[in-house]
Amino acid sequence: MATESLAELVRFAPDVYGVRWVNHVALFIVTDAGVILVDANGQLNPRTPALIKEAIRSVTPQPVKYFVYSHSAFDHSTGGAVFADTARYVGHKNTVERIRAANDPTTPVPDLVFDQKTTLELGGRRVDLYPADLSSTDDYIVVHDATGRVAMFVDLMQPRNVPFRTLLGHPERIVERLQWLEDKLDFDVIVSGHATPQMSGTKHDVAEQRGYYRDLSDAIATARAAGVADSSPEMTTRVGAILHPKYGAWRRFDEFLALNIRGMIAWRAGQTPSAH
Ligand SMILES: [Zn+2]
C-alpha cells in the first residue's frame, strides 16, 4: 500500500506555521510575547489539539496567548481548552451562542468577541480579523497577518475545490469578499483550513474561486434560457456540461454541483438553504 501522510508541520512564512491532521489545518503565528493560534480541529480526532500544542512547542517556548475561532463549525472549533492555561478565546459575535449551546467543556466560549474588524497585537505584531459578512448569521472571519503576508479564510477559499454544498453564504457576498481579498488585502499565501488537494493558495486561486461563482451563475442563466426548470436534474446536466471543461477536475465537482446550483438559486431568492 502507498505511504500516506496523516500529519505535518509546515511553515507558510517566517513565524507563520500550519499543523495538519488529515484534511484539517490549524494556523499559528509566533511572536516574542506569545503565539496566536487559529482553530484546534479536535472533532474528528480529539487528540489533534494536543498534537497542535506539541507542534507549537517544537518551534517556540512561547505560550498560546490568543486562540481564534475561524468560525463555529465543530470540525474546526472543537478542542481549544487545551490552551486554557494561557489563552484568551477570540471569535465572531455569531459564534458565541452556537459554541455555548454545544456545552462542550473542551471548546470554550469566546470571551473576546467582535463583529467589526478587530486587531490582535502581540509582541509588536498586528494580526487583523475581519468578519466575512456572508449572511446575517455568518460567523466566518478572514485572518490577515500583514507581516508574514499570509491570510486565512477557512472553507471559502479552498483552491481547486468547488464550494461546499449549498454555498456557505449569499453568493453575491462571497464574490464581493473574494474580490476584496484580491484587491484590498496584501498577501502572498492564503490558507484554507483544509489540505486537499493543497494546503494553501495565492491570489490566482482566489480569482479562480471567484470565477467559479460567476461561471456557475452564467451557466444557470443559460439553462434557464433554454427552458430548463430550476434545480432539476436536467439543469444539473446542462450546467455540468458547461462547467465541466474548466472545473471537472476540481474536488467534489460531481458530488456538489447539484447542491451548488440549488444553493445559488435559493440564496438569491432570499432563502437560507439547509446545508444538507
Ligand atoms: Zn472546513
| Contact status, residue 80 vs residue 100, Cβ threshold 8 Å | no
Residue 190 parent element (H or E):
strand 189-191
Alpha-carbon span 125 to 245, nearest angstrom: 44
Cα(23) to ligand 1 centroid in Å equals: 9
Report pLDDT for 1. 85
Alpha-carbon span 217 to 126, nearest angstrom: 38
Q: What average pLDDT does range 82-93 have in this prediction?
A: 98
Query: Considering the chain, what percentage of its residues have pLDDT values greater than 90?
Result: 98
| Arithmetic mean of pLDDT over the chain | 97
Cα(258) to ligand 1 centroid in Å equals: 20
Cα(96) to ligand 1 centroid in Å equals: 18
Q: What is the pLDDT of residues 94-108, one digit of tens each?
A: 999 999 999 999 999
| Contact status, residue 145 vs residue 153, Cβ threshold 8 Å | no
With a cut of 80, say whether residue 8 has pLDDT above it: yes
Question: pTM for the whole thing?
Answer: 0.97
Cα-based angle 196, 201, 207 (whole degrees, multiple of 5): 115
Cα(43) to ligand 1 centroid in Å equals: 11
Alpha-carbon span 156 to 97, nearest angstrom: 22
Cα(63) to ligand 1 centroid in Å equals: 26
Helix axes 253-268, 233-247, angle to 10 degrees: 120
Alpha-carbon span 96 to 88, nearest angstrom: 14
| Contact status, residue 191 vs residue 141, Cβ threshold 8 Å | no
With a cut of 90, say whether residue 274 has pLDDT above it: no
Cα(75) to ligand 1 centroid in Å equals: 7
Cα(194) to ligand 1 centroid in Å equals: 6
Cα(9) to ligand 1 centroid in Å equals: 18
Q: What average pLDDT does range 116-124 have in this prediction?
A: 98
Report pLDDT for 275. 58
For residue 163, CA distances in Å to 131, 154, 155 come to: 19, 12, 8
Cα(226) to ligand 1 centroid in Å equals: 35
Report pLDDT for 185. 98
Cα(238) to ligand 1 centroid in Å equals: 29
Domains of the chain: 1-126 (3.60.15.10), 155-276 (no CATH)
Q: What is the pLDDT of residues 15-73, one digit of tens each?
A: 999 999 999 999 999 999 999 999 999 999 999 999 999 999 999 999 999 999 999 99
| Contact status, residue 260 vs residue 162, Cβ threshold 8 Å | yes
Instruction: Kindly list the protein residues that place their beta carbon closer than 5 angstroms to ligand 1, a single-atom ion.
Output: 155
The dihedral of CA 252, 257, 262, 266: what is its sign? positive
Q: What average pLDDT does range 75-80 have in this prediction?
A: 98
Cα(227) to ligand 1 centroid in Å equals: 36
Report pLDDT for 276. 47
Q: What is the pLDDT of residues 175-230, one digit of tens each?
A: 999 999 999 999 999 999 999 999 999 999 999 999 999 999 999 999 999 999 99
Cα(99) to ligand 1 centroid in Å equals: 16
